[in-house]
Chains A and B, each alone.
Chain A
Amino acid sequence: MAGVLAILPQQIVFGLALGTVYGLVALGYTMVYGVLFMINFAHGEIFMIGAYVGWWVLALLLKAQVGALHPAWVVPLMLLHAMLFAGLLGVGLERFAYRPLYLRGATRLGPLISAIGASIFLQNAVMLSQGARMKVYMTSLLFPRTWRIQIAGASVSLLVIVMIVVAGLMMWGLHLLVQRTKLGRSIRAVAEDREMATIMGVNVRRVIAVTFFLGSALGGAGGVLVGLYYTQIDFFMGYSAGLKAFTAAVLGGIGNIRGAMLGGLILGLVESLAVTFMNPAYKDVVAFVILIVVLVFRPMGLLGENVAEREKV
């Protein structure tokens, strides 16, 4: 047992790193659900495309031989491009794949099927344009292996700290935006009651588009961080990451922004710790058993759906 205790701090660090990324991606699912009551199944692909954009930025910098690459400016550059591209892609998806459906009063299933179609389309588009083979993030050029510190017996690389800080800052920024600004207030108004928001003069279409932009941009940032951390990306990576992030969103209470962050952290920690105590092959089993148990006792997730009066269908 002493052996297990000794590696526990290390596992918690890995779990936190994984969890913040799950949370970041989960935000995209939860925000879209909040305003549209639909699961954007193409969000995993937006995340994947964010990872590709980050890879391209890094690859172009390497090709241009701009001299010493320092993470202090390279990582923000990668994040910026990935977030912008992913955000615009999200807006485009909303405009062409979902809006025509919900404007014509399609049932909730309509946009859902459309999202699955968009997901397959994006996967194949990336496979055809970028090739079916994985791409390798040259993370070690940005974060040398020696950049690590010891905290409470755990060896923590600078990259993990950067991931946690970046993801934390983004979540905090989103929180402020939604709670403190006029834009945030209109997002909350649309989530609460779309018709009433329209009557009160909120431009609902614009709010929905902005929500898609924000959620997708966070997904794109998640893609870059995961690319740096995992060091391998491929066109199919959005599937499993999307599934996990979606699980995190449901675990915390879909539609609830704080719930998505909490769900992500719990899922990451559970996966990491499960490996410590049992056969690693069962780690997904543990994660999903916890999801089921939570849903049995709290069907709306840990923090509940943050929707005051749910739209009646």
Chain B
Amino acid sequence: MTRRTSLERSVWAVAVALGLCTVAPAVEAQQAVKIAAGVPLTGPLAKQGQEVANAVKLAAEEWNKKGGVLGRKIEVLEADDQGNPQVGVAAAEKVAADAAVLGAVWGITSVTCIPVSEVLERSNLVLISPGCTNPKVTDRGLKNTNRVCARDDAQGPAGTIFAVEDLKAKKIAVFDDGTTGPKGVADEVEKKAKQLGVQALRYVIRAGDKDFRAILATVPKDVNLIYASLWAPDAALIAKQLPDVGLNVRMIGPDGQFEPVDYIQASGGAAEGNYVSFLVPDLKKIPAATAFVKAFEARYGPVSSYGPLAYEAANIILEAIKKVGKADRAAVRDAVRATKSYKGILGMPIAFDDKGDVAGGVIYFYQVKGSGFEQVKAITVK
């Protein structure tokens, strides 16, 4: 019992050596504070995802110019979730394992946000989503999950009100792709349409399919509006294929279609006159956003979708880290949730409620004109 064998001794020696090794990188990691940008960087949603990552990088650079946070430099850790839950979870595990990461701007697809937030919750890592709009994202009562965008149960009904009151829809064909986010909006649209006494017919397509003509041909000809709760590439195809089945109706869709390249350009002119609801007002009309738009466009090209929301999310996280004053994930998490009246570039103060939803959502309606979107209306949801 008292004497150690040589084997035991060598085991101890190795253990001590390993211990020293693990200490060394930890010291190095102290040198930078990291925030993660988790979005689809490849695949069909890469365009929107890259804008989010770029906006986070811009925020980090601006902070770095002012000396960083906690006296350290800020680095952005990009994580590609491909808009796919399995890939997202793997990416989230990697982010959570990096001790230097203190917060994450994550997700434009609800289907990915939900499992990712659970992974990050386990290590008390806060996330703010710029574009995950499904109610379940915040309704699960996770302490770490917040969002700066409106919820589907705000966006769907607002879109329906706009469709019925402004576009005089009498019979609506509602499309979704069966995944969490788009289906959630479509459910809300159907519910609200019923309340307003308008008939809503449901159709499900599969995202990634390219030929929707057979489904479109089954839409009755007396439908006078299509609510396409779909992502931009799919919506562009629907817009293009509508004439093939002799349907000549306008389309309206949620935030996932607010993409000039993948929706307007990809539709080859077929989307002209269609409507899209979005979570950000027209930045050209907000003085506070001028500097952001200028800085972003100088480096990464036009701001077109979730960039402004991602920029706000990154700034809120960095403000929270600054307020906490130390690299403590749990404290940062609570400080983010406690954000009240953060004044950023959107022209309105941002505050999170108990669930992590942004208080007081406004939905903005845009019409496709030429190669861009023009804001035509704003609806405030209770």
Which residues of A are in contact with B by a Cβ distance under 8 Å?
Answer: 3, 7, 10-11, 14-15, 18, 127, 132-134, 136, 138-141, 145, 148, 155, 157, 226, 229-232, 234, 236-237, 240, 271-272, 275-276, 279-281, 283-284
The B231-279 residues at the A interface (CB cut-off 8 A) are 233, 236-237, 240, 243-246, 262, 265-266, 268-270
Contact status B214-A11, CB under 8 Å: yes
**Which 6 pairs, one residue from A and one from B, show the smallest C-beta to C-beta distance?**
A230-B210, A132-B42, A275-B214, A272-B214, A280-B215, A281-B204
Interface SS of chain A:
helix
Residues in B whose Cβ lies below 8 Å from that of A275: 214-215, 217-218
Residues in B whose Cβ lies below 8 Å from that of A234: 44
Contact status A10-B204, CB under 8 Å: no
Contact status B243-A276, CB under 8 Å: no
Contact with A along B168-211 (1 / 0, CB 8 A): 00000000001000000000000000000000000111101111
A275 to B215, CA, bound (A): 6
Residues in B whose Cβ lies below 8 Å from that of A138: 268
A61 to B210, CA, bound (A): 24
Residues in B whose Cβ lies below 8 Å from that of A7: 217-218
B46 on the A face (CB < 8 A)? yes
Contact status A10-B243, CB under 8 Å: no
Residues in B whose Cβ lies below 8 Å from that of A139: 268
B301 on the A face (CB < 8 A)? no
Residues in A whose Cβ lies below 8 Å from that of B369: none
A16 to B240, CA, bound (A): 20
Residues in A whose Cβ lies below 8 Å from that of B206: 280-281, 284
Partner of B268, one of A140, A240, A279: A140
Partner of A18, one of B211, B237, B245, B269: B211
B43 on the A face (CB < 8 A)? yes
Taking the closest CB of chain B, its distance from the CB of A57, in whole angstroms, is 18
A275 to B266, CA, bound (A): 25
Interface SS of chain B:
loop
B136 on the A face (CB < 8 A)? no
Contact status A134-B246, CB under 8 Å: no
Partner of A280, one of B43, B204, B237, B240: B204
Residues in A whose Cβ lies below 8 Å from that of B73: none
Contact status A276-B214, CB under 8 Å: yes
B355 on the A face (CB < 8 A)? no
Can you pick out 22 interface pairs between chain A and chain B where the beta carbons lie within 8 Å of each other? A18-B211, A132-B41, A132-B46, A134-B233, A136-B268, A140-B240, A140-B270, A145-B243, A155-B245, A229-B211, A230-B210, A231-B237, A232-B236, A232-B266, A240-B208, A271-B214, A272-B214, A275-B218, A276-B217, A280-B215, A281-B178, A281-B206
A272 to B211, CA, bound (A): 10
Contact status B240-A10, CB under 8 Å: no
Taking the closest CB of chain A, its distance from the CB of B108, in whole angstroms, is 15
Contact status A232-B214, CB under 8 Å: no
Residues in B whose Cβ lies below 8 Å from that of A11: 214, 217
A82 to B240, CA, bound (A): 25
10 additional A-B residue pairs with CB within 8 Å, beyond A230-B211, A272-B214, A280-B215: A3-B220, A14-B211, A18-B211, A132-B41, A155-B245, A230-B210, A231-B240, A271-B214, A276-B218, A284-B206
Taking the closest CB of chain A, its distance from the CB of B222, in whole angstroms, is 11
Contact status A155-B246, CB under 8 Å: yes
Size range of the interface on B?
A: 35 or more
Partner of A140, one of B47, B208, B214, B269: B269
Residues in B whose Cβ lies below 8 Å from that of A133: 44, 46-47, 262
Contact status A280-B244, CB under 8 Å: no
Q: Chain A CB within 10 Å — which of B41, B215, B236 has the most?
A: B215
Residues in A whose Cβ lies below 8 Å from that of B217: 7, 10-11, 14, 275-276
Contact status B43-A132, CB under 8 Å: yes
Known contacts being A136-B268, A157-B244, is A279 close to B214, with CB within 8 Å?
no
Residues in B whose Cβ lies below 8 Å from that of A127: 42
B322 on the A face (CB < 8 A)? no
Residues in A whose Cβ lies below 8 Å from that of B240: 140, 231
Residues in A whose Cβ lies below 8 Å from that of B246: 155
| Minimal Cβ-Cβ distance residue in B for A239 | B208
Taking the closest CB of chain A, its distance from the CB of B40, in whole angstroms, is 9
Contact status A136-B205, CB under 8 Å: no
Contact status A14-B210, CB under 8 Å: no
The B32-83 residues at the A interface (CB cut-off 8 A) are 41-44, 46-47
A311 to B214, CA, bound (A): 42
A75 to B204, CA, bound (A): 33
Taking the closest CB of chain A, its distance from the CB of B268, in whole angstroms, is 5
Residues in A whose Cβ lies below 8 Å from that of B244: 148, 155, 157
Taking the closest CB of chain A, its distance from the CB of B156, in whole angstroms, is 20
A155 to B204, CA, bound (A): 23
Taking the closest CB of chain B, its distance from the CB of A67, in whole angstroms, is 20
Residues in B whose Cβ lies below 8 Å from that of A157: 244
Taking the closest CB of chain B, its distance from the CB of A68, in whole angstroms, is 17
A155 to B218, CA, bound (A): 14
Taking the closest CB of chain B, its distance from the CB of A283, in whole angstroms, is 8
